[in-house]
Amino acid sequence: MNTRCTAWEALLDAHLGGGLAADDAAFFRSHAAACDRCRDLLRLVSADLPALAGEEAPRLADSVIAVTSGPACGRAEALLGARPDGGLSADESLLLQGHLDHCRACADLALTLESALATVRELAEPELDPAFTFDVLRATSATRARKRGGALPRLADRFGAWWQGQAARPQFAWEVAFAATVVLVLLFGTPLSPARRAPAKALAAVQASPGWMIDTAGDLTGVAGERIGGVRQDVTERRNRTAPDRADLLRHGREAGAALLHGNFDTAAQRLRAAGGDLTRLWRDWRDDGSAAAD
Amino acid sequence: MDLANLLESCRAGDELAWEMLVRQTQSRVYGIAMTYVRDRDEARDLSQDIFVRVYRNLDGCKDADRFLPWLVRIARNACIDHLRRRKARPPARDIPADEALRLVAPDEAPDEEMERQARRRVVETALHSLSEINREIILLKDMQGLALEEIARLLNLPLGTVKSRSSRARLELAKAVQDLVGPAGAEATA
């Protein structure tokens, strides 16, 4: 083998591909005619090689892969997962497809993945009943009114949402009980409490009550039966007169409680104001008639 | 009417614009809620709450191009809040996932409809067998079609992590489907 043979071999691929220039073709032919070794090589590469028949080719590939790199399924799976994003290069797509053509497990996985993702996309927008839109519009109409009302109602709205969240917490009742206890202790239970004397006064009032009651009882037993009847009648009249006020007070109190529980503070405040009005009216009705009776 | 104008009208208080926006996005919001709670009625109530949140915060979405990620973000946060509350105070009854998939398709033959329902049921069950993060990535990427950058921002994860997790999550989903219906799951779910 000499330098001419080396130059001839360099032209071999081009010759097989039919792309030799005229000068090179002349040299290629003349050298092949003169050199036995190069002529044999040309005959060998130009002849049709016997192909592996039937299932032999994949078997051979599998056995070669098994003793060299090992199965490429891991790499194929990595590409499979990235394929829906369109992030594979042309070469990677080609390599993946080549693997899928020969690996049944990966081909199954690819089909399952494709089908599952199509179903996932279907799940993105399930059908809804037509009433849903109206329910949403109804729910947002209250919010709309608040939005138009200014910053204060919006703040109340946010506070209401926060309150609802708090009320839904299981620890909420304990926390409220704890806070109420602290408030009571601060109000009545310490030497600096503003209402520290209230319990003593209340106790004194209670202790004084029996004497008053005995006096009243003595008076009552001392007077005639019509006097007792008169007191009873007076109390009944007062009760009857204030019955609507008491019913209003009860109703407004219940509504305020329900609104407070649902975090609707505007409504709760309205109802509490109304309850305050009821209470004032009730007291006035009860007392005024008493004074009138005294007159 | 394009989305930018629609949003502008909604912000200006146009009730019709708001109605249109609700109609255009309700299925998507409901789909997100269903993915989290797996109960039709609960998802419906939750979707309504999500829309109230959206309505309250419409001023927060200045850019119409970013409306979808913004909507998904609000929906996701609402769902997570709801699940936290539900964990603290469980519902009175549990509803099987099958019941949650009574979706109507009146123009399909009963066989096709049943097949579709079965396919959805399998995929939904497989979806819920995934880890929470993988399920969320599939929800955001493959279900809602958000960009990877947007998902990374939403989940507060590096972009590379989201990318690789997205790929892994899909494979996990496919394998979970195969576990449910066997290796020839492709035929069953196709």
Does any domain span residue B85? Answer: yes
Confidence (pLDDT) at B169: 92
Angle at A64 between CA A59 and CA A68, to 5 degrees: 150
Give the domain-ending residue among B48, B70, B96: B96
Residues B83 and B119 in one domain: no
Give the percent of chain A with pLDDT over 70.
Answer: 78
Q: Which domain holds residue B9?
A: 1-96
Last residue of a domain, one of B49, B72, B96: B96
Q: In terms of domains, do B39 and B115 share one?
A: no
- Under an 8 Å CB criterion, which residues of A touch B? 77-78, 80-82, 84-85, 87, 105, 108-109, 111-117, 119-128, 132-133, 135-137, 139-140, 143-144, 147-148, 157, 165, 168-170
**pLDDT attached to residue B41:** 85
Q: Is residue B102 part of a domain?
A: no
Q: Best mutation site among B14, B171, B175, B180 for testing chain A: the one with the most A CBs within 10 Å?
A: B171
| Three-class secondary structure of residue B1 per DSSP | coil
- The whole-number pLDDT of residue B175 equals 92
Give me the CATH number covering residue B72. 1.10.1740.10
Residue A216 vs residues A210, A219, A295, B49: alpha-carbon distances, Å? 10, 5, 20, 62
Residue A53, pLDDT > 60, answer: no
Residues B84 and B130 in one domain: no
Three-state DSSP string of chain A: CCHHHHHHHHCHHHHHCCCCCHHHHHHHHHHHHHCHHHHHHHHHHHCCCCCCCCCHHHHHHHHHHHHCCCCCHHHHHHHHHHHHHCCCCHHHHHHHHHHHHHCHHHHHHHHHHHHHHHHHHHHCCCCCCCHHHHHHHHHHHHHHHHHHHCHHHHHHHHHHHHHHHHHCCCCHHHHHHHHHHHHHHHHHHCCCCCCCCHHHHHHHHHHHHHHHHHHHHHHHHHCCHHHHHHHHHHHHHHHHHHHHHHHHHHHHHHHHHHHHHCCCHHHHHHHHHHHHHHHHHHHHHHHHHHHHHHC
**What ranges do the domains of chain A cover?**
3-42, 68-119, 155-222, 223-295
**B interface test, pick of A77, A103, A104, A128 with most B CB neighbours within 10 Å:** A128
Residues B89 and B114 grouped into a single domain: no
Give the mean pLDDT of chain B: 82
Establish if B44 belongs to a structural domain. yes
Q: Which of A13-17, A64-68, A288-292, B42-46 has the highest mean pLDDT?
A: B42-46
Of B19, B163, B183, the CB nearest to A108: B183
Q: What whole-number distance in Å separates Cα of residue A48 and Cα of residue A221?
A: 138
Q: Is the pLDDT of residue B146 over 50?
A: yes
Confidence grade of residue A55 (pLDDT, cut at 50, 70, 90): low
B183 neighbourhood in chain A, CB within 8 Å: 105, 108
Task: Quote the ipTM score.
Answer: 0.75
Q: At what angle do helices B40-56 and A131-149 cross, to 10 degrees?
A: 30
Note the Cα A96 to chain centre separation in Å: 38
Q: Place A295 in a pLDDT band, splitting at 50, 70 and 90.
A: very low
The highest-confidence range among A154-158, A217-221, B24-28, by mean pLDDT, is B24-28
pLDDT value at residue A75: 85
Domain match, B71 and B115 both: no
The vertex-B189 CA angle with B144 and B116, nearest 5°, equals 75
Least confident of A101-105, A216-220, A245-249: A216-220
SS3 B190: coil
Q: Which of B13, B163, B174 sits opposite A144 (nearest CB)?
A: B13
Query: pLDDT at residue A280 above 60?
Result: yes
Contact B26, B19 (CB under 8 A): no
Average pLDDT for A54-60: 62
Assigned domain for B101 exists: no
Indicate the number of domains in chain B: 2
Do B75 and B157 lie in a common domain?
no
* Joined tokens for residue A182: 């602290």
Question: How far is the C-alpha of A164 from the C-alpha of A264, rounded, in Å?
Answer: 9
Last residue of a domain, which of B96, B129, B158?
Answer: B96
